[in-house]
Chain A
Amino acid sequence: MTELSGFTASGGRAGARVLSLGIVGAGEIVSRIHLPVLSACEGIRIAYVADKNPEVARSVAGSYEVAPVTVADNLDMLPQTDVTLLAVPVTARLPYYELFAKRGTCVLAEKPLAIGWAEAKLLCGLYPEYSLACGFQRRSYGSVALARLLVAENWFGRLRSISISEGALTTKTGADSRFYDDAASGGGGVLMDLGCHSLDLAIYITNATEAIPLEQRFVFDGEVDREIDAHLTLHTAHGSCELDCLVTWLRPARNTIELRFENCTVEVSCRPSHDVEIRGVQNGRDVASLTKKRAGAATMYQAFYLEWMAFLDGVRSRQASKFNARSCLPTIRAVEALYEAGKRNP
């Protein structure tokens, strides 16, 4: 009578090959997010933390008992590893991409993957699909997995439109403010820093192949964009869908993504969560909550952990994960198109 049966638990990593991992760039995102997460990941060995600034490399690496490496002009001096986290400013990345592609090292790059779509596409050509990924970690939120399922399976009828509202009154970066003030480094600007995440979610949830800007209004502060209000069309396999996108550092926002279906509206938080909220089309005051059990991340660290696990599993099995760089191209193209249109007609 008794039948011993396995559940679908992810317990299979225990015997998986241990991958060596190098980290290039020792900024805040690495020390505060990636290293705490990576030190809890199974199946990897962190080989080094590299930075141009020897003191920073030593300090961050020392805190996690990892070998520090100072990045010199000759990048070939970087130790060989199976996988690398690339977390240096986007404008400085190209030589690293070329080096790691040549070595056959798999790369998970912090967003943005590249300065623009053409460069991103070129980079994708340098790597097998499974071995280059971009850090749009919001894809691992439980709520996002649920929203994607609702759209794919038409639970509430056809998706008619999406509305993004994300941001806050101040940037509260918690990081070196120069990074955010320097548009040239590629890190600055609310669209590149924050908006790309929400745009990526809209694209990922709908499985869109393209996001075409129709209208946009930027608020620039010198070279740095502080707010964008844009209207786009998402092209999906099942037709098109309207997308309104407000991302701001100048005023409070709802910090939600609203999916308007034929029969109801589904609200997905921009923060990690397991749940989505559902409102009827007739009476928006009545709210129900929907949860997908064991769907994904409900905290930021969980989101990054799942991103890493998906990427590393993909590296081991040579299967592209949902974070693969090619899947990020529509987002990169949309961001670039919005900036181009904004500069022509802010």
Chain B
Amino acid sequence: MKRLAILGANGQVGTEVSLRLRDVEGIEVVPIVRNVSGSAFLRSNGVECRHGRISDPAEASSLMGDCDVVVNFALSNTAIPRADREMNRQIIRSTVAAAKPGAPIVFASTIMVYAPGMNVWLPDSYGLEKLVAECMFRNACRTSHHPAFVFRLGHVLGEMQNITSKIRGEVRDGKVALPHEGLRASNTVFTAAIVEAIVQISQTQPAPNPGTYDLITFPQWTWLDVYTYYAAQLGLPLRLAHAEQVRDPKSGLGSPSASMRRVLGYLANHHALTERLTFFLAFLPRSINQRMYLRYLQTRALNEINALRQQDKVEFCVQDWRELRVRSFGQMADPATLMARYPVPSTLQVASSNRPA
């Protein structure tokens, strides 16, 4: 029996991973949560939890010192960047120091380190923080001789994940608009695939090579695959919007007249600036004044009418991100098989039932 510590087990991903690991043969899952309130849900589902502060080295040692594998989903997120950074780094230091000698440690990172929403590599603060934390984690593991696994998680799909709830809602509403008709890779991963990777680290002989992996369904699922999967699960048809029914955030950009419209549109919404420009306009001939004023009204009308036209249109359900080239974590079964292999308790599967309207 391998004992497996899950740090941050009351987070969205940590909770579902803990639940899916609960009944895996040969594994004893040990969710570690700061307080009993945080672990109530897991405990109510029959999962025993440990409580304490993993940022405290002494407490961390007693919490995870007897575990064979440590998986770190913990993330401080107080919205005070300095405090979060210090806490997250402290958790890494403390975890590596407290883990049983030679125990593999998994650090949950993110594909945001690739800045998938940008054409150039410029990660957001979350991605950058994770990137720095990855380096720190690898160095700490190297020094203390722990096999280090970095999992860069894609959009996580699963019974308890917000993205899944959102997708199901959109399928039910019959309003699904996908960029590139849904044919672009989704960069998603199912919780069951994360579980499978953890199980492989815990149980497979020889153990997978330590390293940095992109935990993304491989071969990649397109967004159309993902929505089709959930539509089938709900027993509903997937209704895709036609291109002309989709709100285009880039419409009207590019031409010189569009540039003028943007300037006038900006002025229409910034009265402080408009009022100051008015002083200088008064030096121009009356005919030019009138023409500019009417053009301003024309722009304002167009903006308001465009807003009205867009009312009928649907927004893209997902962001139009780059497809990532995946450094996959070895061989895995397809997501449907994995979700069946590591089920969540049936009481949680309310979202998959086809509720009457």
Contact = CB atoms under 8 A, between A and B. Distances in A.
29 contacts: A1-B237, A2-B228, A3-B237, A4-B242, A5-B174, A5-B239, A5-B240, A7-B245, A7-B312, A9-B244, A9-B312, A11-B244, A11-B245, A32-B294, A35-B298, A36-B294, A36-B298, A36-B301, A40-B301, A40-B305, A40-B306, A59-B287, A63-B290, A298-B308, A299-B307, A301-B300, A301-B301, A301-B304, A305-B308
Q: Which of B175, B224, B241 is packed against the most chain A CB atoms within 10 Å?
A: B241
B301 A1 contact: no
A19 interface: no
Interface of B: 174-175, 224, 228, 231-232, 237-242, 244-245, 287, 290-291, 294-295, 297-298, 300-302, 304-308, 311-314
Interface residues of A, number: 32
B244 A4 contact: no
Nearest to A39: B298
A154 B307 CA distance: 31
Contacts of A37: 301, 305
B245 A36 contact: no
A173 interface: no
A64 interface: yes
Given A59-B287, A63-B290, A301-B305, A7 B314 contact: yes
A172 B304 CA distance: 23
A298 B242 CA distance: 26
B228 A294 contact: no
A294 B311 contact: yes
Contacts of A35: 294, 298
Contacts of B308: 297-298, 302, 305-306
B305 A302 contact: yes
A74 interface: no
Interface string A32-67: 100111011100000000000000000110111000
Given A62-B291, A294-B312, A302-B308, A3 B302 contact: no
A282 interface: no
A255 B265 CA distance: 29
B141 to A, nearest CB: 45
Given A3-B238, A63-B291, A294-B312, 9 more contacts: A3-B239, A5-B174, A5-B240, A7-B175, A36-B302, A39-B301, A40-B298, A59-B287, A305-B305
Contacts of B294: 31-32, 35-36, 60, 63-64
Contact of B242 (A3, A6, A294): A6
User: A-B pairs with the 6 shortest C-beta distances?
Assistant: A36-B301, A301-B301, A63-B294, A301-B304, A3-B237, A36-B298
Nearest to B299: A36
A41 B224 CA distance: 35
A317 interface: no
A26 to B, nearest CB: 11
A345 interface: no
Determine which residue in A6, A9, A59, A294 has the highest number of CB atoms from chain B within 10 A of its CB, and name it: A9
A283 interface: no
